[in-house]
A and B are shown apart, each in its own frame.
Chain A
Amino acid sequence: MTKLTEIRWHGRGGQGAKTAALLFGDALLGTGFYMQAFPEYGPERMGAPVKAYNRVSDAPINLHSGIDKPDVVVVLDASLMKRLTDVTEGLPDDGVLLVNSPDPPAKVRQETGLQKYRLYTVDASGISQEIMGSNHPNTPMLGALMRVADFVDYGEVKASIRKKLAKKFHGRDQIVEGNMAAVERAYQEVCGG
């Protein structure tokens, strides 16, 4: 039976939501999954809300339609949680909602009134700031995503991400190591509730 997982990313222009989706797709391809990764285009500028998507499957993917009912939603910027209807649109009640936030899930639920979904939070921005000295939450979010997404083998995908980053940042090992450390930390620190 073909298993297809659909993921939607929410971010702001300039935060790397598109890059995260593309990197995730690329890494998954490297571990034997068929995949799609695509952004949604609208008025573009730094700060404007943007969305990106992934499809992951163990069989060739025929669908080229948009993703309406994601199984997983990843939110790269906690301020987007103000647009709760937008962020949770199409997510089933037991769907996974992963948010970049320094607050634990309980506090996020309290502040937003969110009751459904399997909510996870990780301070991806904080991790990125501490390890790499800049606010680039997308790679640590991949670490957290792999923890909460039960369909990927963490070790394999992590190795695949390392390979892609090594190619992208050829010769700049410090950047690769920093990103991988951030991935690992987010994997460890993500919590649900």
Chain B
Amino acid sequence: MSEAKQGKQGMTGGSVRKRVGMRGSGRAPGLDMTGERGVPENNGRMEPRRGWRDMPVGGAISAAGSAIEYQTGDWRSIRPLHSKERCINCLMCWVYCPDAAIMLKDGKVEGIDYAHCKGCGICAKECPQKVHAIEMVPEGRIKAMEEDHHGS
């Protein structure tokens, strides 16, 4: 998977979101509510389990960055919503995110990788208080907001 071999920083937001199955953006002004995330049935595994003859020796994980295939987005109970308008692109959220879930494009914050964001809230905490470009919102409210927006 050639995309997996690129560093997160080098990837364009578009290719990441395409690969993890995201769609749409910016439902409400200033808020990125993209949330279509893959929920693999096989407990995060993308392939059936291998036999002992088909595994790398010593337990080595031979594909770099393969953790990206384990989609932990559905562990979340609260979600960060990022506002491009308020954002000053200091990139502190990107520095501190433990899941590398802040997506950059041309050195600016493009959005959140909701397929991997676990909702820890560190990005919202690290965003300078005066800037306040990230807000943590309960997942349940997201569904309600989406329904409101689409009138469904």
Interface residues of A (CB under 8 A from B): 12, 45-49, 79, 82-86
Contact = CB atoms under 8 A, between A and B. Distances in A.
B110 interface: no
A47 B43 CA distance: 14
Contacts of A79: 74, 139
A86 B43 contact: yes
A85 B41 contact: yes
B119 interface: yes
A47 B119 CA distance: 9
Contacts of A84: 41
A135 to B, nearest CB: 10
Interface of B: 39, 41, 43, 72, 74-77, 118-119, 139
Across the A-B interface, the 8 shortest Cβ-Cβ residue pairs: A47-B75, A85-B41, A48-B75, A82-B39, A47-B77, A83-B41, A47-B76, A86-B41
Nearest to A42: B43
Contacts, number: 26
Given A12-B75, A45-B118, A83-B43, 4 more contacts: A12-B77, A45-B75, A47-B118, A83-B39
Nearest to B75: A47
A49 B139 CA distance: 16
Contacts of A85: 41
6 contacts: A47-B75, A47-B76, A47-B119, A48-B72, A49-B43, A84-B41
Chain B's interface: helix, strand, loop or mixed, by majority?
A: loop
A137 to B, nearest CB: 13
A144 B57 CA distance: 49
B71 to A, nearest CB: 12
A47 B139 CA distance: 12
B69 to A, nearest CB: 15
Contacts of B118: 45, 47
Contacts of B76: 47
A14 to B, nearest CB: 9
A12 B118 CA distance: 13
Contacts of B39: 82-83
B43 A46 contact: no
B73 to A, nearest CB: 10
A85 B40 CA distance: 10
B80 to A, nearest CB: 14
A44 to B, nearest CB: 11
A124 B24 CA distance: 34
Contacts of A48: 72, 75
B115 to A, nearest CB: 14
A48 B76 CA distance: 8
Contacts of A83: 39, 41, 43
A83 B41 CA distance: 6
A148 B126 CA distance: 48
Contacts of B43: 49, 83, 86
Contact of B77 (A46, A49, A82): A46
A49 B42 CA distance: 12
Contacts of A86: 41, 43
Contacts of B74: 79, 82
Nearest to A14: B77
